[in-house]
Amino acid sequence: MARVHVPVDVEGQMGALRVSALVDTGAEVSLIPRPLARTVGCWLTNQATVVSGVHGDARRFPVVVARLRFPAVDNVGGRFCFVMSHMADEVIVGMDILAPLGISIDTRTRRLTVRNETWEAFKTVAGVGALFFGGVTLLGAVVGSRKGASRVPKSSLDDVAPRMPTKRMRRAR
């Protein structure tokens, strides 16, 4: 399969930039080049991780946090951890970001698609006409209606991305 590059918005405490990112479904983690992390002001965590390359070489890199959005798919995105690398020359979006957002690559068109399982389930239930009232209640919880906004379950994104920022986090250097 040919390489798939898409525009993404990377945002930190110093601002945001739109850059081209490689979407790599074979990568377990996402990478951000150190110069870009410094420019946008990614939050540096006190964590580091070991990344193994395709040739088996392993190196330890710091972990930073940034906001990432995909303009091509209705600005889907959120806060994510990235491995900050002085060796990477482009943003690489791996499965640690793609899977929680439900993003996949349409191999025919080489474009990103988003599958929202909750919406798909609602369309199926509504299509057969069963549980209509329950379906409306479900949809209200998903979109966060004004009355029930405090009862909306927290996003799965909150489970995989750290809170922004804490006193222990500092700007990437």
All structural domains of the chain: 4-114+155-171 (2.40.70.10)
Q: Which residue has the tokens 């909150």?
A: 158
Which three-class secondary structure state does DSSP give residue 68?
Answer: strand
Of the chain, the percentage scoring pLDDT greater than 70 comes to 65
Q: Which residues contact 141 (CB under 8 A, 6 or more apart)?
A: 148, 151, 152, 153
Q: Are 110 and 4 in contact (CB under 8 A)?
A: yes
Q: How much helix, strand and coil, in percent to the nearest 5, is found in the chain?
A: 30, 40, 35
Measured distance CA(69)–CA(95) in Å, rounded = 15
Average pLDDT over residues 75-82: 93
Average pLDDT over residues 129-137: 43
**Is 44 or 124 the better-scoring residue by pLDDT?**
44
Average pLDDT over residues 134-162: 40
The two three-digit tokens of residue 1, written as one number: 């399969």
Residue in 98, 64, 59, 69 with CA at minimum distance from that of residue 84: 64
- Please tell me the predicted confidence (pLDDT) of residue 156: 36
What's the whole-number average pLDDT of the chain? 76
Could you tell me which residues are beta bridge partners of residue 82?
64
- Please tell me the predicted confidence (pLDDT) of residue 162: 43
Q: Does the pLDDT of residue 105 top 80, yes or no?
A: yes
Determine if the pTM surpasses 0.85: no
- Please tell me the predicted confidence (pLDDT) of residue 109: 86
Measured distance CA(126)–CA(120) in Å, rounded = 10
- Please tell me the predicted confidence (pLDDT) of residue 127: 52
Residue in 89, 68, 84, 97 with CA at minimum distance from that of residue 7: 68
